[in-house]
Amino acid sequence: MDMDPRVRRRYEVYDEDQRLRRPGLGDLVRLRTWDIFDRYVPTGVRVADIGGGPGIHADRLARGDREVLLFDPMPGHVEIARGRGTFQAEIAEARQVPLDDASVDVVLLMGPLYHLVEPEDRLAALREAARVLRPGGLILAEIITRYAWVMDATGKGLLGEPGTWDDFDWIARTGVSKDPDQVVDGSFFAYFHRPEELRAELTQAGFEDVELLAVEGFAGLFGDLAERMREPGDLLRALRITEAEPSMLGASAHVLGLARSCPNPASR
């Protein structure tokens, strides 16, 4: 299965390896994600990081005594990932993963659901994750929320730019960003979920016990986030306390869905 060329163009020029290392928001997203991993992904398990990019999450998990297999459709990402030397990395797309049925304990989908804009493609990726998971295995699937772009543009001072409001209206109505060449800030081509859509998609794919967690939560709105992240302990604690609050989910640019594969595969 081929990757959308609009998405491929984005990652051919974008430094994905540095995204989660940038002061402020990058630090926040990385540390919050790792905090969730530490609580939900036990040591000694086999993890498939599908769409894992250059492997910043895979490296963290592998160094924590987990066997990690990374798959990404971008050759450049896979080359960087292999260079880390702590896990295996292979070129593959989220809807067609070269793993046996019921062969891993945990699946990460920390990006594929952003870029599969058609519902049937997202469902295919989730069902592929269910296929490779052992019965009762854990999926962690991340989305970008519907109004994340509004919050981002507000922080960047783009609200007065020509065409911005038309772009916002389009995403609010369709959930899909316009072609990257047609939008104000050159944003990537993506689908922007409502949190409840992720719950529904996971359920439709056969997962159970769905839990939604806000990643950045309210902290993504702070203009002084880089300064706050110099000593992030109290902020991270506050975000953990509020991460599952339903009223917080839509105000977080990223939401993680956690769910279990059906313990009886025959009932799928």
Task: Specify the CATH architecture of the domain 5-145+193-261.
Answer: 3-Layer(aba) Sandwich (3.40)
Can you give the pLDDT at residue 181?
52
Domain spans of the chain? 5-145+193-261, 146-190
Dihedral sign, Cα of residue 54, residue 37, residue 141, residue 253:
negative
Angle between helices 233-242 and 25-40 (to 10 degrees): 60
8 A C-beta contact, residue 128 and residue 112? no
- How far, in Å, CA of 32 to CA of 239, rounded? 8
Q: pLDDT tens string for the chain (268 positions)?
A: 777 777 767 676 667 777 887 888 999 999 999 999 999 999 999 999 999 999 999 999 999 999 999 999 999 999 999 999 999 999 999 999 999 999 999 999 999 999 999 999 999 999 999 999 999 999 999 999 999 988 888 877 878 788 888 888 989 999 998 765 544 344 578 999 999 999 999 999 999 999 999 999 999 888 888 899 989 999 999 999 999 999 999 999 999 999 999 887 555 4
Q: What is the pLDDT of residue 185?
A: 46
Burial class (CB in 10 A: 0-12, 13-18, 19+), 227: exposed
- What pTM does this model have? 0.90
Instruction: Give the C-alpha separation, 45 to 75, whole Å.
Output: 26
pLDDT given at position 134: 98
Provide the pLDDT for residue 14.
66
**The residue count for the chain:** 268
Report the SS3 class of residue 9.
helix
3-state helix, strand, coil in the chain (%, to 5): 45, 20, 35
What's phi and psi for 243, nearest 5 deg? -65, -30
pLDDT in the model for residue 226 = 87
Express each pLDDT in 253-263 by its tens digit: 999 999 999 88
**pLDDT at residue 221, as a whole number:** 85
pLDDT, tens digit, 9 for 90 and up, residues 63-99: 999 999 999 999 999 999 999 999 999 999 999 999 9
